[in-house]
Structure 1
Amino acid sequence: MLRLLPLLMLAGAPAPDTAMERLEALMRDYRGQVPGASVLVLRDGQPLVRRGWGLADLEAGIPAGPHTNYRLASVTKQFTAAAVLLLAEDGRLSLDDPVRRWLPSLPPAADAVTLRHLLSHTSGLVDYEDVMPEGQDRQVHDADVLRLLEGQDRTCFPPGSAYRYSNSGYALLALVVERASGLDFATFLRRRIFRPLGMAGTVAHREGVDVVAHRAWGYSLVDGVWVRTDQSPTSAVLGDGGIYSNLDDLARWDAALYDDRLLRPESLALMFSPATATDEPDVPHYGFGWRLNGDSVWHSGETIGFRNVIVRWPRQRLTVVVLTNRNDPEPYPLALAIGRLFGAP
């Protein structure tokens, strides 16, 4: 605790004991024999908090911790966006390419849709979850998303004219990465992002192909009892939400967003620049895989049995990550409260 004192005092935050006591109070609902949470607080690249509460696996009694791998859900989208930007840097694609250049089986309604529209949720494409067959129990994959959209010769609005959050767009982007790179999406992420950054525990998970080490299992509270609800029919789609990761690997990812060890400065600028206004309360703009809100950039991830968020305050070089393996509550307010303990505006 004494080692953290200079950092916390310089931040203008509460004294360490007070901050940690307040943190414990914030995390009280995650303590004990319940689905847990792993929390990371970074300032200037140094971990002020790096620990877990509760359990990653209720049945086996395995505690949550820094190495626990959670399904990131839509926090995945920033990695998909980075993959596209890497290929743009390589000259393998352009952000203004029509999506039908890469996925020609899409219907004519997608003629005007570009990769930039997909990245910024301005394509107007129908959400694949809205057109899945009723009673679908087989898991769908990114290629299945394309097949579902092949039968939807319509858009919700003219491409580029409005914002509508789209899981379809990011599933299609994963397929574009595959076609432009010649590698399957999971392999591309491993070779071009995870391995170079030392994110050894992170994986775009494919059942039967890889194993998630130190895996957190997802749970939902049903009639007062925690029930394992780890997978849904959409859990196998990679581009919009299929990455598993942990606190230490996300610290490495956060560090790479401050310099050019992965992406060029101009690519990072695109990622964090307003690409479109949004219709989401308290989220003025969306970039590429990130919500932009004044001093902070952030993204949440929500899927059956998991609720996650990463919030960054770049000017303060402060980051809070909250990963949870339960269906509720949404952890964004919790992350903001934790950030304020350690100097967030």
Structure 2
Amino acid sequence: MAALLIRLLLPPCLAVALTAGCARKDPLADMREGRQPGCAVATLGPGGAAFDAAGYADVEAGLPITAETRFLIASASKQFTALAVLKLAEQGRFTLDDPARRWLPDLSGALQGATVRQLLNQTAGVRDHTVLMALAGIERMGQVSPDALLAMMRGLSSSNFPPGSRARYSNGSYLMLAQLVERVSGRSLTDYARDEIFAPLGMNDTGFDARPLVAQGYQPVRAGGFRIANDQPSLPGPGGLVTTVRDLARFDAAFRAGDTVLTPAMKAVFLEPGHLSNGETAVLPEFGTPYGAGIGLERREGRLWLSHDGGSEGFRAQYLRQAEAPVGAIVLCNRVDVDPGEIAERLSRLPTPQAVSSPGTPASTEPHPASAAAIADLAGHWRSPETLIDYAIRAKEDGVQVTIRSPLAAEPIVEDWAGLKVNADGELTTGPLRLKTNDDTLSVSFGGRVQGLVFHRVDD
């Protein structure tokens, strides 16, 4: 099953409070030798940005990485989708507390009454389309056509939770926001962001369009070396932005100055943490911090820090900066075996957060291997009426073999879900996947991003 790239743990260097040895070490040193992919960085300071780079944008062609190298930044794109939404709201085209389905009536089942603000703050409950793609056996985002992806989202009649009741990170919320920009402005997010954000700021190497990447994305292989791994989503919004560290440094300067692209009023909304319907600050459990408009918010030593990372098949990114002062770092990498968050924190000298102890899971609730009877209950033919994903499940020794059919794929996809265990809730689990049968109903969850998607048993 497709792996979801979610960075949940603090980087190793942060755990030692940026010791002198950690701070002194050149964070790009390991990428300066030989021909290998690498990273470009911008260190933000009162005097402007200082740039550095190591490694190759194209290893085979021998093209070095520079401050002008274009990288895919994946989820770090969300802040720019948010800015497009905030710009339209400031123009009076809608208010942030309007229900988004007013402009997206065909997606009302997925939205379940969520407001524009709830989509921005990740409190909407919209199911994550990238996880639905994984449940359909899709390994690469670019495999799915935009029409097929939107058709799947139009078929949804449920969400993960009622809007405003909880906070959960979802790419689906930002897919909805990209569609909102298109419906309200009459232009695609690609065109709107180019004309209204990037061009006025001189960010000429930045865009949501499928422009050729200067940097190839790379994954390491077991035999040594790297393979090219470029995978761009078919629809922009939650990801898909291509940019450079130099262009992001230009944006950072504009963000601090405030101008017609990003006014003080827009900046205030950008930095406002989301709230639940009961008034509580909404904290994303994946990161332990509130979420503003497309950006994570965290206070350390009384100062507000803004951050968002990004990960795709062959790229990693981190954009970290302090809200009140020109301090921070931008790290864009064309390889997945480095931690750009750790590099950014070293360059920014980010203060260490106070450690929070986490009690271990009681032994009585530890998952245990699934019985043959439990696996047998899972066997059969199941279909989701919302997504039209179809599972033909056959029991195996310690798991199941699943033949997946869906409108997203032209041919059936066969996967093995091995090592099934039973958790305290009686769900069968393997990795982030959770399955629970009840007579002729199968509930499928994947982490927190798709919860309780219902499948019904059908006749073969």
Match of 2:55 in 1: 54
Q: Is the 8 A contact 2:328 2:347 kept in 1?
A: no
CA, structure 1 residues 188+103, in 2 after alignment: closer, same or farther (shift >3 Å)? Answer: same
Match of 2:46 among 44, 47, 55: 44
CA, structure 1 residues 109+318, in 2 after alignment: closer, same or farther (shift >3 Å)? Answer: closer
Deviation at 1:170, TM superposition (A): 0.7
Match of 2:228 in 1: 228
CA, structure 1 residues 139+293, in 2 after alignment: closer, same or farther (shift >3 Å)? Answer: same
Report sequence identity in percent. Answer: 37
Match of 1:302 among 292, 306, 311: 311
Deviation at 1:186, TM superposition (A): 0.8
Match of 1:287 among 285, 292, 299: 292
Q: Does 1:239 align with 2:243?
A: no
Q: Distance in 2 between matches of 1:118 and 1:160?
A: 10
Q: Is the 8 A contact 1:316 1:344 kept in 2?
A: no
Deviation at 1:203, TM superposition (A): 1.5
Q: Is the 8 A contact 1:218 1:304 kept in 2?
A: yes
Match of 1:217 in 2: 216
CA, structure 1 residues 329+278, in 2 after alignment: closer, same or farther (shift >3 Å)? Answer: farther
What pairs with 1:90-129 in structure 2 (closer than 5 Å)? 90-108=91-109, 110-129=111-130
Q: Which amino acid in structure 1 is aligned with residue 170 of structure 2? A: S
1:105 partner SS: helix
Deviation at 1:74, TM superposition (A): 0.8
Match of 2:360 in 1: none
Match of 1:272 in 2: 271
CA, structure 1 residues 279+91, in 2 after alignment: closer, same or farther (shift >3 Å)? Answer: closer
Q: 1:315-339 CA distances to partner (integer Å, 9 max, x unpaired)?
A: 3321200100011233112211121
Q: Is the 8 A contact 1:229 1:305 kept in 2?
A: yes
Q: Is the 8 A contact 1:204 1:243 kept in 2?
A: yes
Deviation at 1:131, TM superposition (A): 2.1
Deviation at 1:160, TM superposition (A): 0.9
Match of 2:209 in 1: 205
TM-score, structure 2 normalization:
0.65
Q: Distance in 2 between matches of 1:303 and 1:34?
A: 18
Match of 2:247 in 1: 249
Q: 1:62-97 CA distances to partner (integer Å, 9 max, x unpaired)?
A: 111100010010110000000000000111122122
Q: Supply the RMSD in Å over aligned alpha carbons.
A: 2.3
Q: Distance in 2 between matches of 1:64 and 1:97?
A: 44
Match of 2:181 in 1: 177
Match of 1:78 in 2: 79
1:335 partner SS: helix
Q: Does 1:336 align with 2:345?
A: yes
1:106 partner SS: helix
Q: Which amino acid in structure 2 is aligned with residue 240 of structure 1? A: P
Deviation at 1:23, TM superposition (A): 5.0
2:107 partner SS: coil
Q: Is the 8 A contact 1:298 1:312 kept in 2?
A: yes
Deviation at 1:201, TM superposition (A): 0.9
Q: Distance in 1 between matches of 2:139 and 2:40?
A: 32
Match of 2:170 in 1: 166
CA, structure 1 residues 320+141, in 2 after alignment: closer, same or farther (shift >3 Å)? Answer: farther
1:310 partner SS: strand
Q: Distance in 2 between matches of 1:283 and 1:144?
A: 34
Q: Is the 8 A contact 2:109 2:154 kept in 1?
A: no
Specify which structure has the higher proportion of helix: 1
Q: Distance in 2 between matches of 1:282 and 1:117?
A: 18
Q: Distance in 2 between matches of 1:142 and 1:240?
A: 14
Q: Distance in 2 between matches of 1:297 and 1:260?
A: 17
Q: Is the 8 A contact 1:318 1:344 kept in 2?
A: no
Q: Which amino acid in structure 2 is aligned with residue 134 of structure 1? A: G
Q: Which has the larger radius of gyration?
A: 2
Q: Which amino acid in structure 2 is aligned with residue 124 of structure 1? A: G
Moved more, 96-105 or 296-305: 96-105
Q: Which amino acid in structure 2 is aligned with residue 290 of structure 1? A: I
What pairs with 1:6-45 in structure 2 (closer than 5 Å)? 22-24=24-26, 26-32=27-33, 33-44=35-46
Would you identify which runs of 4 or more consecutive aligned residues in structure 1 move more than 3 Å? 135-138, 140-145, 279-283
Name structure 2 gaps, 5 residues minimum: 1-19, 276-281, 353-460
Deviation at 1:143, TM superposition (A): 5.1
CA, structure 1 residues 327+244, in 2 after alignment: closer, same or farther (shift >3 Å)? Answer: same
Specify which structure has the higher proportion of strand: 2
Q: Distance in 1 between matches of 2:47 and 2:94?
A: 33
Q: Distance in 1 between matches of 2:112 and 2:285?
A: 27
Q: Distance in 2 between matches of 1:236 and 1:52?
A: 29
Q: Is the 8 A contact 2:129 2:153 kept in 1?
A: yes
Deviation at 1:134, TM superposition (A): 2.3
TM-score, structure 1 normalization:
0.86
Q: Which amino acid in structure 2 is aligned with residue 157 of structure 1? A: F
Q: Which amino acid in structure 1 is aligned with residue 187 of structure 2? A: L
CA, structure 1 residues 320+288, in 2 after alignment: closer, same or farther (shift >3 Å)? Answer: same
CA, structure 1 residues 181+282, in 2 after alignment: closer, same or farther (shift >3 Å)? Answer: closer
Give the number of equivalent residue pairs.
Answer: 317
1:308 partner SS: strand
Deviation at 1:248, TM superposition (A): 1.2
Moved more, 135-144 or 176-185: 135-144
Q: Which amino acid in structure 2 is aligned with residue 192 of structure 1? A: E
Deviation at 1:146, TM superposition (A): 2.8
Q: Distance in 2 between matches of 1:143 and 1:267?
A: 32
